[in-house]
Amino acid sequence: MASMRRELVVLIVGACGRIGFGADHGADAGGDDAAPVGRWASVVSGGLSTCGIAVDGTLWCWGLNNVGQLGMGDTTYVQPPAQVGTQTWKSVAIHAEWDDTDHACGIQLDDTLWCWGGNPDGELGLGTTDNETSPRHVGQATWKAISIGDSYTCGLETDGSLWCWGTDDDGELGDGGMNESHVPKQIGASTYIALSAGEDSACAVRDDHTLWCWGDNNSSQLGDNTNVTRRRPVQLAGTTWLDVAESSNAGCGRKDDSSVWCWGFGGSGQLGTGDEDAHPIPVPASVGALSTIVLGDDHACGLDAAGALWCWGYGGHGQLGIADIVIDTPIQIANVHATALSASADNTCIVDDQTRLLCTGSNALGQLALPMAERHVPGRVDARTDWTEIAAQGSTGCGLAGGHAMCWGSNGDGQIGIGDNADDQQQPGDIGTGYAQIVAGANSTAGIQADTTLWIWGYDPIDDDDHSTPIQALVGMGWTSTTVGDTDACAIEAKALHCGGINNFGEVGNGTTNQITDFVVPGSWDAVSMCGSTTCAIATTTGIVSCWGLGDRGQLGNNTTNDASTPQPTTLAAIQVAVGGHFTCALDASRALWCWGANDEGQLGIGTTDDSLVPMMAASPAGYAEVAAGDAHACAIRMDHTLWCWGAGENGEIADPQLSFRSSPTQVGSDTDWTHVATGNDWTCAIKLDGTRSCFGSNYVGELGDGTSWHTGFVAVP
């Protein structure tokens, strides 16, 4: 959220939305001992957690541990790799997306099956829905293969029979029903030789080399020439299949000549067909014979008979090991030879011919076994000493430094402004000079230049199009402040408030929910803030805060949860306002803090977690200089230049060392030289009087702008 302090009129823009993560994932910890480099036999990349088996059969895991999926007996982060018990293992599977369903299973040397982690749908197969933070023995059978999806698990017993358990919402269990199972459930009577579980779909190869798939099929990831969910296995064409790999939206398999065939969604080139088209049936990938094939969410990799690594698909977070963003024709990754291979959402890991374990891609939570990119305390993120403004919303940050406008983070709509809308940026990109103000939105960025012209880049709500470099918006001069939401924007010129955009909930304020290019909201206005589909503004004459648009949690402050398509006055007169994710905060003339709306994470700062439909004074004395509102947290700087935060804290966004929420403003550290603060989805950046920038919280797509979110190129795991 932008925080731009002025002498009389201050614009604070709130952020909204989350990155898709939610559960508390514990405090930081690391293993006491680490397996030495050059001692690895296999690896499995599970998204935000990683596990590997050493040549002596010991199991080691690291990364996210929100529900105990690392098997350490607790829910603390692990980095570097730490050993899981003392048993010896043949294979392991893990799935970690920062959800309560994150879990792992492994097969020990005696072929027994053990599972641990999140268990809300019975995906551990133990007959309960209790989480387990240490490996637990599953039944009495012996097993030869195990594969894990989002909230279900499938395995092959040593006799080749197929069993699945966990959720069955999308047919994941393949039994024709819709009821979850808390214990392994046999699927048919056939014998299988290979198995792969994707997010909500799975495929397996029978001993007659036919390929069968079941589950969710919204992207044709079952390869049956439809997008119809299948609650029982359906056969794909061909009778010469060897093995298969399934992802969240696509699948690939190898035939008996080691050729690779892929199907499903191809928008990132992950089918390897030389284009980015979808294919509802298996089509040959443009790669030679491979001995192994693995899939991430939007990329794929394989090994040929010589151990050379081939990859294709999306590589914007370094998961291909090279700098290319999208590769739709498989290429060999130079100087990489491997004996084992694994891929997940944004990572690829290998064991090379010297038994070294190397990984590339995202390191948001330490899944590369490097210090994790997410920060839980403020830390300086670059060497600059000339930051003067800071702004954030969603997963995009912007600021002014040395006369230059700079942006970083999410760039799906070109909101970084550097001429490319395909690649997130983990370090600030230089947009140019001449800007006096800058504000960030979830999908858009806007700025006012020194000549008072208004510019926008990213998604342009006015013309409903994307622009990856700045274009002038609402021609003319004299603009004094601006704000952007998800699909709308507002700006003030000579006290006249102009708004335009998609207007789904009436956030433009014109009395309708119809799309409109430019509407002048009646009245005279000093400041405006927008987040998502909610707008609030301060009236010039009375200082009263009025809000309109989405009001589902009381964020309009008018004692209802109804949406409104015209300004609704609150009872509060204020000098600053900041709209966040379903809540709003403001400062009155005495510099007291007031908030209203959603409060499930304590983001109103009133000492409770009860929502409020009207402005409530925060549980702290007056004396605030500015406030910024995020998705479910807020931060403010007091007149004494101390920094205070409250609300959600599971990503470190309020700098709470226990990663818990705070329902009252709490001072961050003891520094007394903070000058501006901005809050994104679940992260915070602030600048100091000396012009340095410090950030903390989530850092999955480069939100903190410190260059540590991902690594492009394989790094060794100790």
HSE (CB half, 13 Å, CA atoms) of 233? 23
According to the model, what pLDDT value does residue 197 have? 98
From edge to edge, which strands make up the β-sheet containing 162-166? Answer: 143-148, 152-157, 162-166, 181-186
Does the pLDDT of residue 36 top 60, yes or no? no
Q: pLDDT-derived band of residue 621, with 50, 70 and 90 as boundaries? A: confident
Residue 63 domain-assigned (yes or no): no
% of the chain with per-residue pLDDT over 70: 95
437, two tokens: 């103000």
Residue 354 domain-assigned (yes or no): no
Does the pLDDT of residue 145 top 60, yes or no? yes
Does the pLDDT of residue 22 top 70, yes or no? no
Among 293, 322, 339, residue at a domain's last position:
339
Residue 370 domain-assigned (yes or no): no
Q: pLDDT-derived band of residue 35, with 50, 70 and 90 as boundaries? A: low
According to the model, what pLDDT value does residue 38 have? 84
Which run of H or of E encompasses 695? strand 693-697
**Do 412 and 500 share a domain, yes or no?**
yes
Residue 52 domain-assigned (yes or no): no
**Do 117 and 215 share a domain, yes or no?**
yes
Amino acid identity, position 37: V
Instruction: Centre a 10 Å sphere on the Cβ of residue 169 and count the other Cβ atoms it contains.
Output: 18
CATH number at residue 379: 2.130.10.30
Angle at 376 between CA 373 and CA 381, to 5 degrees: 55
Amino acid identity, position 404: H
Does the pLDDT of residue 21 top 50, yes or no? no
Does the pLDDT of residue 459 top 50, yes or no? yes
Amino acid identity, position 1: M
β-bridge pairing 465-472 and 593-597: unpaired
**Do 175 and 258 share a domain, yes or no?**
yes
| Structural domains of the chain, count | 2
Q: Does residue 501 contact residue 513 with C-beta atoms inside 8 Å?
A: no
φ and ψ at residue 523, rounded to 5 degrees: 115, 180
Alpha-helical regions (H) of 126-275: none
- The model carries a pTM of 0.91
β-bridge pairing 425-433 and 11-12: unpaired
Segment 242-261 shows an average pLDDT of 98
Q: pLDDT-derived band of residue 652, with 50, 70 and 90 as boundaries? A: very high
With left for phi above 0 and alpha for psi between -120 and 50, is residue 490 left, alpha or beta? beta
First to last CA, the chain: 39
Amino acid identity, position 653: E
Segment 421-440 shows an average pLDDT of 92
Higher-scoring residue by pLDDT: 5, 86? 86
Residue 49 domain-assigned (yes or no): no
φ and ψ at residue 472, rounded to 5 degrees: -75, 135
**Do 388 and 306 share a domain, yes or no?**
no
**Do 211 and 316 share a domain, yes or no?**
yes
Alpha-carbon distance of 299 to 228, in angstroms, equals 24
According to the model, what pLDDT value does residue 203 have? 98
The 3-state secondary structure of 332-392 reads EEEEEEEEEEEEECCEEEEEECCCCEEEEEECCCCCCCCCCCCEEEEEECCCCCCEEEEEE
For the chain, the average pLDDT equals: 93
Residue 15 domain-assigned (yes or no): yes
Indicate the range of 16-25, 91-100, 610-619, 698-707 predicted with least confidence: 16-25
Does the pLDDT of residue 8 top 60, yes or no? no
**Do 591 and 694 share a domain, yes or no?**
yes
Q: pLDDT tens digits, residue range 196-247?
A: 999 999 999 999 999 999 999 999 999 999 999 999 999 999 999 999 999 9
Least Cα distance to 49 among 318, 352, 366 occurs for: 366
Residue 80 domain-assigned (yes or no): no
Range of the domain at 627: 3-20+375-714
Alpha-carbon distance of 641 to 650, in angstroms, equals 25
According to the model, what pLDDT value does residue 423 have? 86
**Do 11 and 105 share a domain, yes or no?**
no
**Do 535 and 634 share a domain, yes or no?**
yes
Residue 365 domain-assigned (yes or no): no
Among 293, 319, 339, residue at a domain's last position:
339
Beta-bridged to residue 293, according to DSSP, are: 302
Segment 396-408 shows an average pLDDT of 97
Alpha-carbon distance of 678 to 575, in angstroms, equals 18
Does the pLDDT of residue 14 top 70, yes or no? no
Amino acid identity, position 661: F
Segment 241-256 shows an average pLDDT of 98
Does the pLDDT of residue 499 top 50, yes or no? yes
**Do 331 and 387 share a domain, yes or no?**
no
Q: What separation in angstroms does the CA of 673 have from each of 430, 510, 624, 688?
A: 26, 42, 14, 5
According to the model, what pLDDT value does residue 20 have? 27
Cα dihedral: 375, 378, 379, 381 (round 10): 80
According to the model, what pLDDT value does residue 28 have? 35
Neighbouring residues of 334: CB distance < 8 A, sequence distance ≥ 6: none
Does the pLDDT of residue 576 top 90, yes or no? yes
**Do 289 and 174 share a domain, yes or no?**
yes
Strand, helix or coil for residue 544: strand
Alpha-carbon distance of 468 to 388, in angstroms, equals 24
**Do 334 and 456 share a domain, yes or no?**
no
Q: pLDDT tens digits, residue range 520-536?
A: 999 999 999 999 999 99
Q: Does residue 309 contact residue 294 with C-beta atoms inside 8 Å?
A: no
Does the pLDDT of residue 469 top 60, yes or no? yes
Q: Does residue 531 contact residue 489 with C-beta atoms inside 8 Å?
A: no
